[in-house]
Chain A
Amino acid sequence: MKPFTFERAATPEQAVVALARTPGARLIAGGTNLLDLMKLEITAPTHLIDVNHIGLDRIEDTGEGGLRIGALVRNTDCAAHPRVRRDYPVLCRAILAGASGQLRNKATTGGNLLQRTRCPYFYDGNLPCNKRDPGSGCSAREGYSRNHAVVGVSDSCICAFPSDMSVALRLLDAEVEVMRPDTSLRRIAISEFHLAPGESLPIREFALEPGELITAVILPPPPAGRQFYRKVRNRASYAFALVSVAAVVEEDGSGRIALGGIGTIPWRSDAGDAALPRGAAAVAEALFANAAPTEQNRYKLKLAERTIAAVLAAANSG
């Protein structure tokens, strides 16, 4: 790890002011992803601003019947919250399907949104990776790509986005509230928050501007219908998704559907939602219209269709 100076912020305002003032600074919350990247020197901030003591650790009802989840709410506490369990079970289930008990106790709502990819080439400083070293190339395209994305990919990057929580938030039409460097607030729709890689470098992953701090995730009132989160992985627990399906299905078979594990971002489309009453094959066809799998991850197309079918079967079982 490279040396860094350290400060603890006491308020969100203090954190963004410190971030704007200090070149090379990064915010640290749970740290379960950032510290890993710092140990491998993939990321090397020269100053860390600890935001664990700035508040933003509450879950509150919004006036509109939704929920406001503070950015520092731990994944464990979000999943355990009575209203999340009752009204947003897809979010509860998605969080509980990710990581381990130890990690969920540390990881935060804001940090989970900002997870970096687990592509092995991103973590291996000896091999090309456009995300780590813009212009060096993508080793996964011709390399090991079994776990990689089949949609939202580009010539520059095919890595899968790892967060389960974000797939549920995409389904629920959440908004991300951020504080700008001047301490004013703005909201970003979750559909705009995660950015698929294009051909231009460096690859931009999030719609955050430099110096911004996530302050909360805002959920609209719970959608009508039953909610599901089904995750398929290499082992029964504590593994990233090969495919995951988040869905809300109404009595008449209509609803919404978002996929994880198969995209460079949480994957949802109007066409996919519209195809729900026509069954899993129609949904998969709509969601994978522009899929560009490799030989190694082509299996995800069929696996996703079958996982969607399993969710729809559960939805129809009453």
Chain B
Amino acid sequence: MPSPQSQQPCEVEVTFTVNGAPRSLRLDTRTTLLDALREHLHLTGSKKGCDHGQCGACTVIVAGRRINSCLTLAVMHDGDAITTIEGLGTPEKLHPLQAAFVRHDGFQCGYCTPGQICSAKAMLDEIAAGIPSHVTTDLSGPLWPSAAELRERMSGNICRCAAYPNIIAAIAEVAADDAAQAA
């Protein structure tokens, strides 16, 4: 067991860019990126589900990559560019994934939805970048967003309402639109 500690809380300055805007905070070193976003910057779109990296509700995009914001310290992201659900779309101008989730009923309670959508956005970028997955048959062949690929790649986002079929339908529609535009 760790020895008893008398160490005092330690605060540090952290500066990063959130949804395009530079933000500076003075934070206890123990503050996770998720708590910095929610409790300090009041960007409450990112959700705290399990707080242990198991549910994906806290998923945000850092330097283009989706990560669990509950499993990383804010102080480790000094200088980084962070995108949350608030940076993807607005009620007036929904991101295509947001609009597709509405169209396909990709949620019931909605708690996991911001994480699902941030995850899906970065996940489609991962496919576009040629990053393989567990269900990719040919590791050297081209990739496309089949339903099997989408399901496997979204397994880090849990939906307790089990809206999975509609979530996959929403993401598949956006992926198909992206493919059509690229063609």
Asked if A and B are interacting partners, one says: yes
Interface residues of A (CB under 8 A from B): 1-6, 8, 28, 31-32, 35-36, 39, 41, 43-44, 46, 48, 50, 52, 76, 79-80, 85-86, 89, 92-93, 96-97, 99-103, 105-106, 132-133, 236-238
Let me know if B155 and A106 touch, CB within 8 A.
no
Flag whether B44 is at the interface (Cβ < 8 A).
Answer: no
Let me know if A101 and B1 touch, CB within 8 A.
no
Let me know if B73 and A31 touch, CB within 8 A.
yes
Instruction: Find A102's partner among B2, B28, B66, B78 (CB 8 Å cutoff).
Output: B66
Instruction: Find B5's partner among A8, A46, A85 (CB 8 Å cutoff).
Output: A46
Q: How far is the CA of A105 from the CA of B153 in the complex (A)?
A: 12
Instruction: Find A132's partner among B1, B32, B75, B134 (CB 8 Å cutoff).
Output: B1
Let me know if B134 and A96 touch, CB within 8 A.
yes
**Which residue on chain A has the smallest CB distance to residue B118?**
A102
Q: How far is the CA of A318 from the CA of B51 in the complex (A)?
A: 46
21 A-B interface contacts by CB (under 8 A): A3-B7, A31-B73, A32-B53, A32-B71, A35-B72, A36-B52, A46-B7, A48-B29, A50-B75, A80-B129, A100-B56, A101-B119, A101-B123, A101-B154, A102-B56, A102-B68, A105-B65, A236-B155, A237-B151, A237-B155, A238-B156
In whole Å, how far is B16's beta carbon from the nearest beta carbon of chain A?
13
Let me know if B30 and A4 touch, CB within 8 A.
yes
In whole Å, how far is A99's beta carbon from the nearest beta carbon of chain B?
8
Contacts of B131 in A (CB 8 A): 76, 79-80
Flag whether B76 is at the interface (Cβ < 8 A).
Answer: yes
Residues from 121 to 174 in B contacting A, C-beta threshold 8 Å: 122-123, 126, 129-134, 136, 139-140, 151-157
Flag whether B9 is at the interface (Cβ < 8 A).
Answer: yes
Contacts of A35 in B (CB 8 A): 32, 71-73
Q: How far is the CA of A43 from the CA of B29 in the complex (A)?
A: 16
In whole Å, how far is A95's beta carbon from the nearest beta carbon of chain B?
9
Q: How far is the CA of A270 from the CA of B96 in the complex (A)?
A: 55
Flag whether B12 is at the interface (Cβ < 8 A).
Answer: yes
Flag whether B90 is at the interface (Cβ < 8 A).
Answer: no
Q: How far is the CA of A39 from the CA of B66 in the complex (A)?
A: 22
Let me know if B53 and A96 touch, CB within 8 A.
no
Known: A3-B9, A44-B2. 19 other contacts (CB 8 A): A3-B5, A3-B7, A4-B29, A31-B76, A32-B71, A32-B72, A43-B2, A79-B131, A80-B132, A85-B140, A86-B139, A93-B139, A96-B132, A96-B133, A102-B56, A103-B156, A236-B155, A237-B151, A238-B155
Contacts of B10 in A (CB 8 A): 3-6
Let me know if A36 and B140 touch, CB within 8 A.
no
Q: How far is the CA of A6 from the CA of B11 in the complex (A)?
A: 9
Let me know if A39 and B52 touch, CB within 8 A.
yes
Residues from 27 to 72 in B contacting A, C-beta threshold 8 Å: 28-30, 32, 51-53, 56, 59, 65-68, 71-72
Q: How far is the CA of A95 from the CA of B12 in the complex (A)?
A: 35
Contacts of A4 in B (CB 8 A): 7, 10, 29-30
In whole Å, how far is B46's beta carbon from the nearest beta carbon of chain A?
12
With A89-B139, A237-B134 as contacts: A105 and B7 at CB distance below 8 Å: no
What are the nearest 7 A-B pairs in CB distance? A100-B156, A237-B155, A44-B2, A238-B155, A85-B139, A105-B65, A80-B131
